[in-house]
């Protein structure tokens, strides 16, 4: 064994011990964070399946649809972008708006309350000074350039 190899061998053993200690510590931290996360996360409701009326010889029957129509999303107060982020199935080809689907969406979707804006302390303006308005230059017309 060369001198270089002899010097490197003990270093690997110590680094392995350190790595094992880090793994044990990280597992303990993960357990604590998952426990805290379980307490904080609210109960998540499953998204109800959309329904569509299918025509048959005997009349119309309800069957599962590919997704909610844009009209149903709008009636429930959900924008297209919010629906996409929430992974709501959307069928853009559908034109019908079924009240049952709208009711399901309204029960499922509860919008987050908007945060109130905190007013910052404004410095009182001096009565003698007024805000300057930017001066706009008048554009020269085509006639003025010819003359």
Domain-located, residue 79: yes
- Record the tokens describing residue 20, joined without a space: 């094992």
Judge whether residue 116 has pLDDT over 70: yes
Domains of the chain: total:
1
Residue 39 CB neighbours (<10 A)? 7
The answer for residues whose C-beta is within 8 angstroms of residue 97's C-beta and 6 or more apart is 69, 71, 72, 75
Domain-located, residue 125: no
Is 9 or 86 the better-scoring residue by pLDDT? Answer: 86
Domain that holds residue 55: 51-108
> 3-state DSSP call for residue 51?
strand
Buried b (16+ CB within 10 A) or exposed e, 42-74: eeeeeeeebebeeeeeeeeeeeebebbbbebbe
- pLDDT, tens digit, 9 for 90 and up, residues 49-78: 999 999 999 899 999 999 999 999 999 999
Domain-located, residue 129: no
Provide the β-strand partners of residue 52.
63
């Amino acid at each position: 064994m060369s001198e270089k190899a002899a010097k490197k061998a003990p270093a690997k053993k110590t680094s392995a011990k350190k790595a094992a200690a880090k793994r044990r510590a990280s597992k303990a931290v993960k357990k604590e964070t998952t426990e805290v996360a379980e307490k904080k996360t609210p109960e998540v409701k499953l998204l109800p399946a959309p329904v569509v009326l299918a025509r048959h010889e005997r009349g119309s029957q309800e069957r599962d649809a590919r997704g909610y129509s844009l009209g149903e999303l709008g009636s429930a107060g959900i924008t297209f972008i919010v629906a996409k982020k929430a992974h709501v199935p959307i069928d853009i080809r559908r034109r019908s708006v079924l009240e049952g689907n709208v009711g399901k969406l309204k029960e499922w979707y509860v919008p987050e309350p908007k945060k109130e804006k905190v007013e910052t302390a404004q410095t009182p303006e001096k009565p003698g000074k007024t805000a300057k308005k930017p001066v706009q230059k008048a554009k020269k017309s085509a006639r003025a350039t010819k003359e």
